[in-house]
Amino acid sequence: MEHAPAPIRPTRRALRVPAALVLASALGLAGCTGPLGLSLPMIGGGGAAGPSATQDLVQTQQVLAVTETAARTVPTINGVGYAVVSAQNGKSLTHRRLLAIRAARLEAMRELTEKVHGLRIDSQTSVADAVVQSDTLRASVAGTIRGARTVRIEPKGSDTYEVLLEIDREMIDQLLRSARRAG
């Protein structure tokens, strides 16, 4: 009896935020009340009633911590694909597994394409004497996906693979700009 292999989990790359962007964000937020309830008076706007330099420093550090956390959180769009191993036309079980992973990955890419570029629906209905004679519905998707990252390749049960892909919002914006220029 053969066992399904363990899931493949690629490593994540850390998002690097330039220090100047973080500092500019912190200074821009000075004087605001943040979403975490931090009251942030203007830095250096003291006079006799203003906060001390130490308080300014502490508040700036708090703003930087909130800003860095928010900068690391990049929204993504996911696409999931499934494929059955036994339905593949491979010569061996290993070859069929590889083909199933490839098919599941393409299915996940199709789902990402639908989410980024939309789905085109063509429909035609024929009615005679107030009775539907025929009803056809066709869906198609077209678009380019670049920069999709494989999050997980995992066997589901004994005969199916699942592939999870994701793409971040920055890459989606680039893809949409490129599609608008081409179309």
pLDDT of residue 63: 74
Average of per-residue pLDDT values in the chain? 77
Total count of domains within the chain: 2
Last residue of a domain, one of 55, 72, 89: 72
Element (H, E) at 72: helix 53-72
Q: Quick one: 87 and 145 in the same domain?
A: yes
pLDDT of residue 120: 92
User: Does the pLDDT of residue 36 top 50, yes or no?
Assistant: no
pLDDT greater at residue 72 or residue 182: 182
pLDDT of residue 117: 85
pLDDT of residue 126: 94
Domain contains 13: no
pLDDT greater at residue 114 or residue 30: 114
Cα torsion 65, 66, 67, 73 to 10°: value is 110
Q: Quick one: 108 and 131 in the same domain?
A: yes
Longest Cα pair distance anywhere in the chain, in angstroms?
A: 87
* DSSP category for residue 39: B
Q: What is the pLDDT of residues 42-92, one digit of tens each?
A: 444 444 445 577 777 777 777 777 666 555 555 788 999 999 999 999 999
Q: Quick one: 90 and 138 in the same domain?
A: yes
Domain contains 5: no
Distances from the Cα of 174 to the Cα of 21, 74, 145, 148, 179, angstroms: 21, 15, 10, 13, 9
Q: What is the pLDDT of residues 89-142, one digit of tens each?
A: 999 999 999 999 999 999 999 999 998 888 999 999 999 999 999 999 999 999
Q: Which residues contact 140 (CB under 8 A, 6 or more apart)?
A: 119, 120, 122
* Domain range enclosing 108: 76-182
Number of Cβ within 10 Å of residue 78's Cβ equals 14
Weakest mean pLDDT among 28-32, 85-89, 174-178: 28-32
- The C-alpha atoms of residue 89 and residue 14 are separated, in whole angstroms, by 39
Contact, 29 vs 63, CB < 8 A?
yes
* DSSP category for residue 128: E
Domain contains 9: no
Last residue of a domain, one of 30, 49, 72: 72
Q: Quick one: 168 and 102 in the same domain?
A: yes
User: Does the pLDDT of residue 167 top 60, yes or no?
Assistant: yes
Q: What is the pLDDT of residues 138-157, one digit of tens each?
A: 999 998 888 899 999 999 99
Q: Quick one: 55 and 84 in the same domain?
A: no
Closest by Cα among 109, 111, 87 to 97: 87
Last residue of a domain, one of 31, 49, 72: 72
Q: Quick one: 124 and 153 in the same domain?
A: yes
SS3 for 157-173 is CCCEEEEEEEEEHHHHH
Domain contains 101: yes
User: What average pLDDT score do residues 27-37 get?
Assistant: 48
Q: Quick one: 56 and 121 in the same domain?
A: no
Q: Which long-range contacts (CB under 8 A, 24 or more apart) does 172-175 make?
A: 172/77, 172/116, 174/146, 174/147, 175/116, 175/143, 175/144, 175/145, 175/146, 175/147
- The C-alpha atoms of residue 153 and residue 161 are separated, in whole angstroms, by 7
User: What average pLDDT score do residues 33-45 get?
Assistant: 46
